[in-house]
Amino acid sequence: MVRIENLIKHYGTVRALDGLSLNVEPGVVYGFLGPNGAGKTTTLRILAGLARADQGRAWILDEEIGRSEIDVRPLIGVLPEEPSFYAWMTAREYLRDFVAPLYGLDARAAGQRAGELLDTVGLVEAADRRIGGYSRGMKQRLGLAQALIHRPKVLLLDEPVSALDPAGRKEILDLIEGLRGSATILFSTHILADVERVCDMVGIIAKGRLIIQSPRAELLDRYALPLFEIEVEGSFGQWVERVTQLPFVKNVTVSNSTARVLVQDIKTARKRLLATLVDEELSVQRFEIVHPSLEDVFLRLTEQASTTA
């Protein structure tokens, strides 16, 4: 459904994309994951026809962007990170009277489709208010409705839930999950928990290059190292610095009174980590092996990419 080969894009002296290649299969929710500045938005802009690559090629539904005789734009729905609207229009007017006619919907079909989508994205009660009074989260919902109005085959979503509160994020993620199979979704984000929840495939990008592309479950199985969570009473003191130097420890992160320790040798770690806690006379509240998350894999792979760049 989406294919990219060796995309290169410069903005002045900045190399935003550095030979990026990836494939998105039909019907999947593809999590396009990377830190800020990795090249995610640039990639989506090129796919949407809003920017041109300096080198490389890209296809949607086997139609090459910028070179095909067929305009691919009616085949895709696009939600930019910060969608903009005519502030003086209401949401219903915007969808029914402005967006729907662009895709050939007649007045009756436009009104029906606008009503359906306003309900879907949770804007029914605010449908007849002017968009200028909307919060950023409400505008994000309206932007998703706009992207869906013509039932596109491919959805390009750039940080679709970044402006939403937890309840709103859950609702939109549920909606995206419900679209699985009916549309192919390329979902750009830096929020790892969202990708872990709804995406079938994950592509990790850093510095304009694809580090890895894999089914989510396979990615976790292949790259996740054993992880210990340790909770103590009070602070860890000098313990973190000491443990970081141990040869079997890959990474240590601390949040308040909880440490997450990524290790290579789980058998050795089980014995020696406990010993170090005893040596430091720390009061241990919890010591357990937990299932590594996509965040652990992401940090490991992006750190490796940084050191080899």
Query: For residue 59, what is the domain's CATH number?
Result: 3.40.50.300
User: Which three-class secondary structure state does DSSP give residue 104?
Assistant: coil
pLDDT of the residue at 223: 66
Same domain, 184 and 145: yes
Same domain, 239 and 104: no
Here the CATH number for the domain that contains residue 275 is: 3.30.70.100
Task: Specify if 307 maps to a domain.
Answer: no
Out of 64-78, 222-236, 273-287, give the one with best mean pLDDT: 273-287
pLDDT of the residue at 219: 78
pLDDT of the residue at 267: 86
Average pLDDT value for the chain: 88
CB 219 within 8 A of CB 208: no
- Of residues 221 and 145, the one with the higher pLDDT is 145
pLDDT of the residue at 6: 95
Same domain, 55 and 7: yes
Q: How many domains does the chain have?
A: 2
Task: Specify if 102 maps to a domain.
Answer: yes
pLDDT of the residue at 250: 85
Question: What are 104's two structure tokens?
Answer: 């050939």
Element containing residue 145 per DSSP (H, E): helix 136-148
Same domain, 184 and 132: yes
CB 9 within 8 A of CB 37: no
- Please give the model's pTM, rounded to 2 decimal places: 0.77
The model's pLDDT over 150-206, given as tens digits with 9 standing for 90+, comes to 999 999 999 888 777 888 788 888 888 888 888 999 999 877 778 888 888 999 898
Same domain, 258 and 193: no
Same domain, 184 and 265: no
Residue ranges in 179-308 assigned as alpha helix (H): 192-198, 216-223, 239-244, 266-279, 294-308
160, 194, 215: which is the final residue of a domain? 215
Same domain, 131 and 93: yes
- Cα separation, 108 vs 110, whole angstroms: 5
Domain carrying residue 108: 2-215
pLDDT beyond 60 at 307: no
- Cα separation, 305 vs 309, whole angstroms: 6
Same domain, 59 and 192: yes
Nearest residue to 223 via CA among 233, 231, 209, 211: 211
pLDDT of the residue at 129: 96
With tokens 């990790």, the residue in question is 204
Q: Which residues contact 280 (CB under 8 A, 6 or more apart)?
A: 236, 237, 238, 239, 242
What average pLDDT score do residues 93-116 get? Answer: 96
